[in-house]
């Protein structure tokens, strides 16, 4: 597997983001409506990556800098938010998400981020199991879905 850093507007990124949005529709009835600005994923304040196997895009994920905010007391200075982690269905069960997550954690750490935070939903047990097994701990809700009953938020000190 090869992981490449790409712009959020790259065709492979757009395809994988569309696929993950469709997955949200299937699981929750709607796409993720939290605001995402492609500029958020430009180094050094963010990063977006795609993993390839046999030249085909099979996984994605990124992070964007976040910090303490009055309306989000769960966020701290030095935080980075994990976004759009996804593995295409035919490539699941091979550990690709774990490799991508480790890559994103290392890149965030190298960029001076102190902690990764994320929001996921209770209808994504695979994601919840991944994050918990990688040392992520539950935190109070933040972001667009902070008060949504299906939302679950996690953090890991880098």
Average pLDDT across each block of 10 residues of the chain; the chain has 158 residues. List them in order: 96 98 96 93 96 97 88 89 97 97 98 97 96 97 90 97
pLDDT given for residue 1 in this prediction: 92
Per-residue confidence (pLDDT) for residue 43, from 0 to 100 = 94
- Written as six digits, the tokens of 14 are 């757009």
pLDDT for 49:
98
**What tokens appear for 59 in the block?**
């996984």
DSSP state of 69: B
Domains of the chain: which residue ranges? Answer: 2-157
Whether the Cβ atoms of residue 120 and residue 100 lie closer than 8 Å to each other: no
Instruction: Assess contact for 153 and 141: CB atoms under 8 A.
Output: yes
CATH of 2-157, picked from 3.40.630.30, 3.90.190.20, 3.30.1330.10, 3.40.50.1220, is 3.40.630.30
pLDDT (0 to 100) of residue 70 = 61
pTM confidence score: 0.94
What's the confidence (pLDDT) of residue 68?
Answer: 79
**DSSP secondary structure string, 4-51?**
EE--TTSHHHHHHHHHHHHHHHHHHSS---S---GGGGSTTSEEEEEE
């Amino acid at each position: 597997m090869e992981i490449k850093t790409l712009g959020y507007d790259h065709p492979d990124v757009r395809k994988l983001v569309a696929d993950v949005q469709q997955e949200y529709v299937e699981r929750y009835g709607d796409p993720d409506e939290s605001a995402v600005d492609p500029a958020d994923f430009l180094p050094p304040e963010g990063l977006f990556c795609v993993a390839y196997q046999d030249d085909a895009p099979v996984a994605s994920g990124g992070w964007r800098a976040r910090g303490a905010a009055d309306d989000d007391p769960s966020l701290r200075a030095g935080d980075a938010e994990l976004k759009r982690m996804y593995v295409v269905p035919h490539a699941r069960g091979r550990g690709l998400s774990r490799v991508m997550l480790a890559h994103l954690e290392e890149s965030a750490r190298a960029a001076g981020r102190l902690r990764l935070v994320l929001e996921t939903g209770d209808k994504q047990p695979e994601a919840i199991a991944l994050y918990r097994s990688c040392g992520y701990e539950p935190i109070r809700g933040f972001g667009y879905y902070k008060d949504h009953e299906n939302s679950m938020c996690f953090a890991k000190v880098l």
